Amino acid sequence: MTDLTTLTSWHSDWEGLRVAVLGLGMTGFAAADTLVELGAEVLVVAASAPAETADLLDVIGAELLHEPNLDTVPQRLADFAPELVIVSPGFHPDHALLLWAAAAGIAVWGDIELAWRVRDKVRAAEWITVTGTNGKTTTVQLTAHLLATAGHRVAAVGNIGVPVLDAVRDPIGFDVLVVELSSYQLHWINQTPEGAISPFASVCLNLADDHLDWHGSADAYAAAKGKVYDNTRVACVYNLDDDATRHMVEEADVVEGCRAIGFGLGAPGPSDLGIVDGIIVDRAFHDDRRNSAFELTTHGELAQAGLTAPHSVANVLAASALVRAFGVAPAVVREAIATFRIDHHRTETVLESDGVLWVDDSKATNPHAAQAALLAFDPIVWVVGGLLKGVDIDPLVEQNVKRLRAAIIIGEDRLALRSAFARHAPSLPVFEVQATETDGVMPQVVRFAIAAAQPGDTVLLAPAAASMDQFDSYSDRGRQFAAAVHDQTRTTNPGGAADDDDTRSGHEPGPDTTAA
């Protein structure tokens, strides 16, 4: 039996360790590939196994147990008697295989813990870790861009789509990894001395209810997010406008000497980054921070980069704080921000036609993200709905009804939305798209929006929900929205009738309709 506490390096003795890897997505394959390279005996257990990936497992020397029904423990897994289980992020904590592992006393790690332990294969890069309910990917991309502009060899990895295990095995290695961490990944980081990561700097951008169906409660979700700060060595960056992130820093067990650095949209204190008269400034890393500040960029320069929405400015401040902690000069921050462009499906302008702005924020997969997008526009024809993931949608509707020209409901979890609009805006035009085929959803959305929108309005896709009920991903949802917009704004008569299988509630929108 291998002593897992000794496995703290690529160069530890992993030979012959029996490991079960749960899941065969990018994370699962990267874990299996890494462990085989380390000399472990690997059994991959998966409910779905694409043929190409399964073939690659055979090539690298890992065994595949493809079992579509994983509600019970397969006999082959029990016979394998793993000493360690590596779990892909999507497995619920109460999954039958994980309950079995816990009952049997088998250690369970996520891919992040494994990557931290073997990070020294080439050279051990510094880690900067980023989490939050919203804004993670943009902040990670911007942080990596700032570091690269400063001359560092850097990779944006983790929940952003590139497994950390692939980066730590890069033959050249990196100076720094900017690691996006989901609440799922953070949940599976153990707090043992040898298993807990110790980042150079860390941030939780914000906290709002999300993934409650996975974590079981808001407290459990917050506890997972708070792990991002544990063992941070130099800077814990937090949101001055979100008390939950400050409490996380206060409660975190950090390395002695680690600083708490705040960021916010107001004037900064001596240990903060903030805004003064439209100028983004850093007081935290100035030698005379009680009396002076560094200018990093201006609101006008952010406008050129498409980063003026309040949540985008907050992401800029957070990324700037992380790289300033790493020693990136203010002039480099300014230069890099000027050349950064935000990713697709994040308050992305699709088209402006006949005085109506069409915006794709399909990445807004929860109410907190949708609220950030809604605050950036007024009046709005709001496209909303999908899989709500156990989150209460009522407060979001209540807070924004005065901004709305109309609402268009899509997706599976529509009853809660229908009830919220009836309760808080009974006179608001509310349309429901009844299409069941994926390719029929967005054309109906656009027909409704053309009928409802007036010059000066924004048609905003900010669903506040996950996409998998009707689309392959949030990206697929956004692409189909954009395609329908481009198609129908060229071919549809704004006064044309909707299809018979569309339904609506409230009054019919017309030229004299005003926001409720």
> What is the token pair recorded at 69?
């029904």
The rounded distance, in Å, linking the Cα atoms of 432 and 6 is 57
Q: Which residues are annotated binding-site positions?
A: 132-138
- ω into residue 379 within 30 of 0, thus cis? yes
> What is the token pair recorded at 391?
């989150």
The rounded distance, in Å, linking the Cα atoms of 482 and 345 is 10
**What is the helix (H) or strand (E) element at residue 86, kind and residue range?**
strand 84-87
- Taking the CA atoms of residue 36, residue 39, residue 41 and residue 43 in that order, the dihedral angle to the nearest 10 degrees is -10
Q: What is the pLDDT of residue 494?
A: 41
Q: Which residues are annotated binding-site positions for ATP?
A: 132-138
Position of tokens 């007024």?
A: 378
Using DSSP, state whether 281 is helix, strand or coil: strand
- Taking the CA atoms of residue 254, residue 259, residue 265 and residue 269 in that order, the dihedral angle to the nearest 10 degrees is 140
For the chain, list the domains and their CATH numbers. Answer: 17-105 (3.40.50.720), 115-338 (3.40.1190.10), 348-505 (3.90.190.20)
CA distances to 171, 177, 333, 334 from 157, rounded to whole Å, are 16, 7, 21, 24
Q: Is 28 left (phi over 0), alpha (psi -120 to 50) or beta?
A: alpha
Distance, first Cα to last Cα, the chain: 67
Pairing of strands 84-87, 235-239: unpaired
The length of the chain is: 516
Q: What is the pLDDT of residue 506?
A: 37
The rounded distance, in Å, linking the Cα atoms of 82 and 21 is 10
Beta bridge mates, 279: 276, 298
Helix then strand then coil, in percent of the chain rounded to 5, is 35, 20, 45
The rounded distance, in Å, linking the Cα atoms of 447 and 470 is 18
| E runs forming strands in 250-389 | 259-263, 272-276, 279-282, 294-298, 348-353, 356-360, 380-384
Contact assessment for residue 128 and residue 199, using Cβ atoms and an 8 Å cutoff: yes
The rounded distance, in Å, linking the Cα atoms of 36 and 19 is 10
Burial environment of residue 440 by CB neighbours within 10 A (0 to 12, 13 to 18, 19 or more) = middle
Q: From first to last of its 516 residues, what are the pLDDT tens digits of the chain?
A: 899 999 999 999 999 999 999 999 999 999 999 999 999 999 999 998 888 889 999 999 999 999 988 889 999 999 999 999 999 988 888 899 999 999 999 999 999 999 999 999 999 999 999 999 888 988 999 999 999 999 999 999 998 888 999 999 999 999 999 999 998 899 999 878 888 899 999 999 998 866 556 666 888 889 999 999 999 999 999 999 999 999 999 999 999 999 999 999 999 999 999 999 999 999 999 999 999 999 999 999 998 887 888 888 999 999 999 999 999 999 999 999 999 987 677 778 888 888 999 999 998 888 888 988 898 888 999 999 999 888 889 999 999 999 999 999 999 888 999 999 999 999 999 999 987 788 899 999 999 999 999 999 999 999 999 998 999 999 999 999 999 999 987 654 443 333 333 333 332 223 222 222
Using DSSP, state whether 413 is helix, strand or coil: coil
Using DSSP, state whether 271 is helix, strand or coil: coil
Long-range interactions of 342-346: CB distance < 8 A, separation 24+: 342/138, 342/305, 342/306, 342/307, 342/312, 343/137, 343/138, 343/141, 344/475, 344/478, 345/474, 345/475, 345/478, 346/137, 346/138
Question: For residue 492, how many other CB atoms are within 10 A of its CB?
Answer: 15
| pTM to 2 decimal places | 0.74
